[in-house]
Each structure stands twice: as structure tokens, then as C-alpha cells.
Amino acid sequence: MNYLISGASGGIGKAILKELYNTNDNFIVLYNSKKNFIKKKNITSYKSNFKKLKEVKSLITVILNKFSKIDVFINCAGNANPYKEAFNISDDEFENSLRINFKSPLIVMTTIIKNQIKKKLKLNIINISSNTIKYGGSKYNLHYLCSKVALENACKNLSKNFIDRNIKINIIRPGVIHTNMHKKIKGYTAKDFKKRISKIPLKKSGTSKDISKTVKFIISKDSNYIHGQIFTVAGGE
């Protein structure tokens, strides 16, 4: 099997790669920052910038030409910057959020779907969204909220319309997961994080492994009848 994982250098992406890794399959990983995931002969890595749509399209074409097919695509790419009120977000900041969290993942999905259908092959897609959608987000992340809402609706549309072509698409909504992502959000403080934790019924953040275990279930044979669904992993929220 050929696995494609975007955002593989982030906390969740790295955990998913570690969870799924085996020596029998090929793993193609996309990263934007540090190349800090496990290094094995059957892991092929590509540096990617999801802000640049044409480059993303070209890169996926290169990958498909090399590997012929993608059996599983797991999209972990995401960026919640900046932490600002809606009226302070610039057009460029809003557009960057849309490109990273929605437009580029959509390009990857549709390009792979087209390839798989043409070759009459199955495809399993999982997109990592955000539980911020459930409660309407905060006043500081409207751009992020909008991009994730768009991504989820695209997934629902593609799942509904291509389920008869062996295309399986599901969504995971993580709650507050303990990764470095929160530290990278400009303007988001440790006090903000602590306040957010206090609102979780379990009163603690989740781990990347909570997400990777969910991914493993969704791509297993045990979930063959589950299509177009949202899995919330958020400590009771």
C-alpha cells in the first residue's frame, strides 16, 4: 500500500506516521518545517508549501507519476495563525489560512481521487479538522474556523458523490491536543491554553496518540461501513 501523509513533521502527523509505519508499505510524507520524522528506506519525503497552490498540484502529479497510486491519504496540514480578532485579520492572513487548511488539501484530494477512479482503485481519505467548529470557535480564530468548515463540507460532498467509486472519506475533529502547534500561534499565551483546558469536561488535553489510534481504526477493515463521518476526539466536548 501507498500512504500519503501531509503535515508529517507536526505533532499529530508525526504520531500518525509512527503508528502506521511498517516495512511492507510505502510512506510518502509532506512537510513544511523541520524534517524531524522517522527515517526509513520506505519513507519518501517531499518539502511542500500549502500556501502555493500551483506547487502543490505539481508535487502531487510528480508523486502519482512515481508511485502510480495512493491508497490512503491523511491530511494533517494545518495552521491556526494569527490569533487575532476578526476585524484585525488582513486579507493575506485570511487567504493563507484558506490555502493551507482548505484549498491545498482539496487540490490533493481531487487530484488523487481522479487518479484512483481512472485506474479503478480504492482510496481512503482522512482529514484532520478541528473541534472548534462544534462551538463556533473563538473571537480570535474566525479565519481558521472558516477554513475548517470549508474543508469539512468539501469532504462531505466528495464522500457522498464518490462513495460508489470506492472513495472513502472521513473527518477527525481533535479537541485540545498537546502539541507544539499552540506554541506557534502568534498571540496565543500559556494563560489562554490553561483557560481553554479548564473548559474541557476531562480537564486535560489529549495526546497525538489519541488521534493516531483513531486514524488506525478508520483505515482498518473494522470501519469498512463507515463513510462520510466526523470523529470527535475532544475529552467529552
Domains and CATH numbers, the chain: 2-233 (3.40.50.720)
Cβ–Cβ < 8 Å for 130, 175: no
pLDDT for position 187:
59
For residue 203, is it left (φ>0), alpha (ψ between -120 and 50) or beta? left
pLDDT for position 80:
87
pLDDT for position 6:
97
Which residues are bridge partners to 124 per DSSP? 72, 168
CA–CA distance, 66 with 70 (Å, rounded to integer): 11
Residue 72's SS3 state is strand
CA–CA distance, 156 with 230 (Å, rounded to integer): 9
Q: How many CB atoms lie within 10 A of CB 208?
A: 21
pLDDT profile of the chain (237 residues), mean per 10: 94 94 96 76 94 98 98 95 90 96 98 98 97 86 95 98 98 86 61 79 90 97 97 91
